[in-house]
Structures are given as C-alpha cells and as structure tokens.
Structure 1
C-alpha cells in the first residue's frame, strides 16, 4: 500500500491531535481528524464578543518551550510580549516585582518592593542561575515534592511565598495551595527565566489557527462524536462505524476504550470571567496578582495592555478564580466585582462572559518531560496523545502528539502487516 492509502484517524483536534497530524503529513500520510465540536483547538480557543478577544481561560505562551520553537512561527503570530514580572495588589495598594535585569523599567520598583526581602530577591536570582544550568531532562528526574515544600526548603520567606509565589503559580497550576510537583515548578521557572511570556495578537486561539493552516492533506471532520474505539473500528455516537488501520486518541481515552490499565484522569478546574472597564488600574503589560488570602480572585489581566487585533469600546479585563466555590454565576460575578473594587480599586466593571472550565489542566504525579514513541501504544493499532501523559503544559501536549505519530510511523515502517480496508469510511 502507498502511504496515502493508510487510514489513520486522530480523535480530537486539540494541540496534541494537530501536531500528530502535522508529523504524519510530513512523513507522507494523510490522516483524518475526528473532532466532536465545531472547531479545532480544544482548550486553546479565542471567541470574539462585542469586538473583544476572549480566550477560553487566561493563558500565556512561553516562547522558551522547546516544542513552541519547533512548531510555531511566533513572528507570523505577531507575538506580543509580557514584561517579566507581576503587579501585586495587597490591602488596596499595588507593588511591582520583576526581572530588572531584563527590563530596566522594573528594576527600581523591584528593589524597593517589600513583597520580598533582600534575601528572597537574592535567592530568586540564585535559583534562576541554577536552573539555567540544569537541563529539562535533569529537572524531571529529580525527586518530587510539593512546590510549597520546595520553596520552604530553599529558604524563601513566608511573606514572598504568600504574596508572590502562591498567587503567581496558582494561576499557572490552577490550584491555590502549591501542591503541584516541584518538577513542574522548576520547569516553568526555568522557561520564564530563559524566555518570555507572550500572546498572539489574535489571542491564544491564533496558535490553533496557525497549526490548522499548516495542514495540507489532513481531513478534519467537525461535529463528529466518537462513542468507542476498537482495534480497527471507530464507532460514532450516531451508530456509524469507520474502518481504520490506526487510531490516535488525542483526548481523554478512558470513556472510549474499555479496560484501560491507567486510572481515570483527574482534572483541575477554574473560572475565567471577562469584564469591560472604563479605566485601567495600570498600563504595563504585567499580570496582576491578588495577595489577600481572603480573596476569591487569584489573578487578573488587562488584555489591551498588549496590542490586539480586535479592540472593544473600553478596556478588557479577565479575572481568574482557582479556589473552589459553590456560587451561582450571578453570585460569582457580584463577588468578583466587589473584590475588584476592594482590592484593586477597579470601579464600574461590566460583566461580559464567564468560562467555567471543568477540565482546565490534568492533575498529575510523577511528571515526565518526554516519552518513547512506543509508550504511546496501548493496543496493536491504538495510540494515545495528550498532556496528561507527561505534564500539564503546551510543550507536553505537543510532545505527546509528536510521539504518538512517530509510534504509528514506526509500526508501519517496522513491517507491521496492515490489511486492505474495503468497506466505505467517512
């Protein structure tokens, strides 16, 4: 059989699935992606509401990620760069802490801030230097502890942990107690130290759009839900059956395949609420952190502190909540508006939209940075992809998609017998 005649299906048009398709295409295959929703991207999407660009949850792209360098063209995305720091709201006041060596505008405010002691600031510099000299592979081979235990073992003060590390990394890890593995903390800290946090000018969904445009011979079936995946058959929810030589499941797989050895994936959730406000509380491209321990808000971001493709009538503000709550939407909006006024002195916030993201990030232990292509194979013709196989990052999503595609290619090139499929398929 010719390469283009093999029927290789990818379930899920998220980042893992799109990367898997790209790798297969570059090796001469013509995969078919089956996507349950009406567009690609998974968690990496941007909506346009009242001319405002609303990402599905506040997200940034770290340009130091190895797979971002490999698969994305940041110039074509018109990447907009955050300043390397944060603005911290505490007791109605705000202070700035950041990397004054990379951005001179942050140097003086960072030296003066009382969020961190002189000892804390020196420890941050030392940790940055140490991790620059540590490979990603070595980071993920270290013993695991919680991030909170790690920071305490490094001698950081309770003050800088509570006022900087907790709100900053809670917004990344989507959990408020820094229970996430120290491997993930070191990896993310290293990526921030070696590169920049950026956003495409069109919003985070620009990443998905670029990856989709890269695909030339891949067919994407939208609004097509899969019920079950068997060895050489994919059963759709409408009862149709697709014959397949190989299947890559680039989404949570436990509901598609029976008797999986791995346990069901646990997920972290969050709320992201968007508001329009008449006045900006600050103008630098910095993430805002709420350091008051009683606050429900974790972090906020003023989207048009960077250039965006589409600008609404006022200023767009996103607010992220990672703490658990039982509030109804109107109660949550009322609480957030009250906290914006009390903690950030932001008045007249007008609610636009809420994204309740139940499966925002996988909750993982024993984190890894990579895997062998053979490890993605769970049955003779079925392979897995997704960040939940490695660690909760865009880099991991891309890596797993690449490895799954390599696994399929290796199976074919190793001479695995594949029979002709005579039945019609979609």
Structure 2
C-alpha cells in the first residue's frame, strides 16, 4: 500500500494526526499493530462489564477535547467534583463548593482545610489558573521548574490538605508515589480539574478513539506490526513483516517506550499501574466520588464506583468498582486489595467478584522537571513523530501532539504556513 503520508500507530495522537491530514486533502493511511484503534485508551467488555484498560477519565475542560471531540455524541457521564478521604478517625468528604454546594458543610467539617495551607495552595496554583501558557514549564514567562514534592514544600503546603488529599490524589493521577513529576505539569493538571468535571463516555473510554477514527474509515489497517521505517531516495519505506509500504512522509505515533525502535529518538521512561475491576450488588458509597486513603496505608491508590455515574458500565442491577494500585501486580494480591477496599468503603468485600485485572506497565510517560511541553515533532524532512511524550502525558497532550505533527507534515508537503 502506498500513500502520500503513512501514520504508524492508531492511538489518540496518531488518529488526530491522520484526521487533520485527511481533512486537508492528503492521502493518508494509518497502520496499527493491535486489533483495534485506541492505543492505551481501550475498553474490554467482559461479561457485560465495560472495563477500561487502566483507570481513565475524560476531562471536558481540556482545550483540545473541546476543539476536536464531539462531547455530546460521547454521552459523557460525569462524577462528583470531590473525594472521600479515609482519615484515622473515619471518612470525610472534600468537594468543590461551586459544583457540589450540597457537600459544603461536610467539606468544612473535614478537618483538611487549614486556612494557612489553603492560602499557600492558592498562591502556588493561582498563576497557572490565570495564565496557563506562561506557567507551563517552557516558553516566554515560564519560571524555573522543579519536582512536585519540592515545589509544594517550598510553597508551604505541608499540612493535612497535602498529606491526606493532594499527595494521594496526584500520586494516582500521575502514577508517581514519590512526587518526582514536574510541578509545572501537576499545576496544569490541577487547573484542568478545577475548570472541568471529568467523566467517562457511556460506552467506555474506547468510544473516544472510535469517534476520532470514524472519518478515516478504511484508511486504518489494524493487525499491522511495523518493524522498520527507513528513508530512501524519494520517500520513506515502511516494513511490517513481509509487507512493504512507501510514502512521501511518515509520522511515527507509537508509545514513548517503543519510539526508539522506529526513530533515532531514545526510549521514553514510563510509569506503571494496575487496575482491578470488581462486581458487587450494591453501591459501596452513596456519593459518586473518588475514594482515597489519607493515611497512606494499603496498596489501593484510589477507588471509584464507575456505575455511580455511568450505569452502562455494568449489567442492570450490578455495580462496577475500580481500584488502582501502583505497586507491581506480582507483589500485590487480590486478597490484599479486597481488604483495603473493605477498609476504605467500610463494607464487606468478600462477595465482590473480580471481573478482570489490567496490568499497564506503560500507563504514562514520565514527566520529570523541567517540563518541555513542545518537543520537536519533525525529525527530518520526511520523518515525524507524535505522542503525548512530545507534549504532556495526557489526552490533551496526545491530541495536541497529533495536530502539531500533522501541521508540520503539511508545511513539508505544501510549504504553506499552518501554525504550530
């Protein structure tokens, strides 16, 4: 198969790149190793339960999501804007009073909102809320970046709000126990949570890549494992087993850990997590909120009843609860996870049935400081790269990276300025 442009990889970045090129009239084809599109954003339907591969949420506040995704078509089911935190003396609730006014009294009684720490947090996060691009870790006006842990300590955020809420919440979001992630990146993520309420598509996270892929139709070939990309006279040759494709340009849109096999770039370090999906016959909590352990005990980093907001994730009358662990699956047993969930929810879990466990060794690219949110996407005149490892490790970063790569290709093909 020959094409004007070949995109290797049908994750979010590759699909967004191909869609941008297709919309500009370019003859583009996408080659994907897996049996379906999505990359890391996949949903397995097991016995009628929709189990995403790794706990994932879609934040409608992401600018690229608002621009490139038809959110109404996804039937996004949003969760509560807050969390249940298990403290030494029992569970407390902390919620955004703007979006969850009914939980204001419980939030004020939580014991986590010391005025001095709240003021310090506002000073730390406020500039990014007002001017995100100036505080994204790169570009004009960006200050020096450091690790999240060091930045929070330097800002005076050292009390219970940090120890029992921010640290466990961000550890789960970033798949980073030690706080070594870029503080600039963490600020951007917290900004998105402050501006939007995350949720899941009614049909599972798989609905997102499926929507991005729909306009491309037969231009996507699955089950094609590319093992070599090589520039030669007049174009680029792509080899997958016994098959060979040629194109004027190629965009390598594979995950960061595999990018070195097809480009001169080094492999990208990644973060791992495991998601456990349990069936139960009743709601473990009356509130559709994320559950965290403020005591730092047990293997479960966070837990959530998906069916509290998205009943379509389970058969009628059943509940589906996810639990995320950051410890290696080989060292964390199901009994240990069940026991911790029983403690967090204050209910027996011995009758809960494990539907499936997803071990995700490359869930997110590592994002140490300093944050570089605009890594080059053009490696040569004919070889380009896309992925969240080129921007930020998020759905936003994947969509932006795919768009940037497509526009770089268009500049190469047409010589017409098309923006960054």
TM-score w.r.t. length of structure 2: 0.90
The 5 A counterparts of 1:243-262 are 243-251=246-254, 252-257=258-263, 260=264, 262=265
Mapped to 2, the partners of 1:221 and 1:87 lie a distance apart of 44
Tell me which residue corresponds to 2:301. Answer: 298
Structure 1 residue 394: Cα displacement: 0.9
1:53 aligns with 50
Q: In structure 2, the residue corresponding to 1:67 is in which secondary structure?
A: helix
In angstroms, what is the RMSD of aligned CA positions? 2.0
Which residue does the alignment assign to 1:103?
A: 100
Of 338, 348, 359, which residue of structure 1 is paired with 2:362? Answer: 359
The CA distance in 2 between the partners of 1:137 and 1:20, in whole Å, is: 26
Residues in 2 aligned to 1:48 and 1:324: alpha-carbon distance in whole angstroms: 24
1:92–1:345 Cα contact (<8 Å) kept: no
State how 1:213-292 maps to structure 2 within 5 Å: 213-215=214-216, 219-231=219-231, 232-236=236-240, 238-251=241-254, 252-257=258-263, 260=264, 262-292=265-295
* Paired position in structure 2 for 1:418: none
Moved more, 142-151 or 296-305: 142-151
Work out whether residues 50 and 204 of structure 2, in 8 Å CA contact, stay in contact via their aligned partners in 1. Answer: yes
> Tell me, what secondary structure is at the counterpart of 1:76?
helix
Post-superposition shift, 1:6?
4.8
Shift of 1:203: 1.6
Alignment of 1:11-410 (within 5 A): 11-91=8-88, 93-125=90-122, 129-140=126-137, 141-215=142-216, 219-231=219-231, 232-236=236-240, 238-251=241-254, 252-257=258-263, 260=264, 262-312=265-315, 313-324=317-328, 326-327=330-331, 332-347=333-348, 348-365=351-368, 366-370=370-374, 375-410=376-411
SS at match of 2:310: coil
Give CA-to-partner distance per residue, 1:38-58, whole Å, 9 cap, x none. Answer: 000011111111211101111
Partner of 1:274: helix, strand, or coil?
Answer: strand
Tell me the SS of whatever aligns to 2:250: strand
Question: Runs ≥4 in structure 1, deviation > 6 angstroms?
Answer: none
Deviations 1:330-362 (A, max 9, x none): x62121012112333232222111000011001
Structure 1 residues 203, 308: closer, same or farther in 2, change over 3 A? farther
For the residues of structure 2 that align with 1:294 and 1:196, how far apart are their CA atoms?
27
SS at match of 1:230: strand
Distance in 2, matches of 1:342 and 1:27, equals 54
Consecutive unaligned residues of structure 2, counting only runs of 5 or more, are none
- The number of aligned residues is 400
Partners of 2:98 and 2:45 in 1: CA distance: 37
Task: Show structure 1 runs of 5+ residues with no match.
Answer: 416-426
